[in-house]
């Protein structure tokens, strides 16, 4: 089982719709979760961090965390063509005495005008 799992997509949504991106993780002890956006050929850029169960909202983005189900999601409201990118779920894992950030494969989002 991979430490962080995402559906690679592509996920296609029409402009203005809500895009829902999902991620599961294997380490029950994980405490920190991050969503990054990566445009083709660019480096990842942080969208949101989430540490507690529940929802965290920032503009059009809402991150949701359910530690009991080991599940984290990202909702993008009023999707825009500029949101078309790969969205990476990242989890802070404790391994071998160190804390490391492990990434999922990423979900490719396509927003259709």
10 binds other proteins (CB under 8 A): no
**Should residue 44 be labelled a site residue for other proteins when binding is judged by CB under 8 A?**
yes
Closest distance between other proteins and the C-beta of residue 16, in Å? 27
Distance CA(13)–CA(104), nearest Å, equals 21
Separation CA 88–CA 45 (nearest Å) = 9
Residue 39 binding other proteins, by CB under 8 A: no
Q: Can you tell me whether residue 31 is helix, strand or coil?
A: coil
Site membership for other proteins, residue 17 (CB under 8 A): no
Based on the number of CB atoms within 10 Å of its own CB, is 36 exposed (0-12), middle (13-18) or buried (19 or more)? buried
For residue 19, the minimal CB distance to other proteins (Å) is 20
Per CB under 8 A, the segment of 53-61, 64-72, 77-85, 94-102 that binds other proteins is 94-102
How far is Cα 66 from Cα 53, in angstroms, rounded to an integer?
A: 5
Number of residues that bind other proteins (CB under 8 A): 23
Distance separating alpha carbons of residues 27 and 20, to the nearest angstrom: 23
Q: Which residues bind other proteins (CB under 8 A)?
A: 31-32, 34, 41-46, 49, 51, 88, 90, 92, 98-106
């Amino acid at each position: 089982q991979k430490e962080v799992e995402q559906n690679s997509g592509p996920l296609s949504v029409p402009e203005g719709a809500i895009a829902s991106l999902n991620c599961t993780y294997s380490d029950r002890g994980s405490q920190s979760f991050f969503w990054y956006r990566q445009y083709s050929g660019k480096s990842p850029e942080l969208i949101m961090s989430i540490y507690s169960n529940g929802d965290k909202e920032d503009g059009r983005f809402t991150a949701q965390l359910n530690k009991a189900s080991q599940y984290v999601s990202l909702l993008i409201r009023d999707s825009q063509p500029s949101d078309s990118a790969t969205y990476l779920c990242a989890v802070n894992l404790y391994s071998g005495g160190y804390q490391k950030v492990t990434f999922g494969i990423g979900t490719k989002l396509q927003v259709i005008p």
